[in-house]
Structure 1
């Protein structure tokens, strides 16, 4: 299953902290988005077994003072 992980922070973090996901072989894409009203946002696109694994992998990443949203991607 594929999941999009959105990270909102005061500074770019998504591209920097995706190393663990890359080493685990689940990272498909990562990047930082254009700064908006809520600060800087970034994303990871990961491919894991289920939502529980997605949450567990994101919990292992040190993301201080961030808002994280995990959403399943529909594969057509």
Structure 2
């Protein structure tokens, strides 16, 4: 299953913390998005077995003062 993880924070974090997901072999893509009024947003596209695994992998990453959203990606 593929999940898009959006991270909103005061500074760019998506590219900074992608190494742990890359080492685990689940990272498909990562990047930082254009800054907006609420801070910087970034994303990870990961491929894992379940939503629970996606949540667990994101919880292992130190993301202080961040808003995180995990959404399943429809694969057609």
Cα distance, 1:38 vs structure 2: 1.3
Q: Which runs of 5+ in 2 are unaligned?
A: none
Q: Which runs of 5+ in 1 are unaligned?
A: none
Cα distance, 1:37 vs structure 2: 1.8
Distance in 2, Cα, partners of 1:23 & 1:7 = 19
Aligned to 1:44: 44
User: Structure 1 residue 20 and structure 2 residue 33: aligned?
Assistant: no
Q: Would you say how many aligned residue pairs link Structure 1 and Structure 2?
A: 76
User: Runs in 1 of length 4+ with deviation above 4 angstroms?
Assistant: none
CA RMSD of aligned residues (A): 0.4
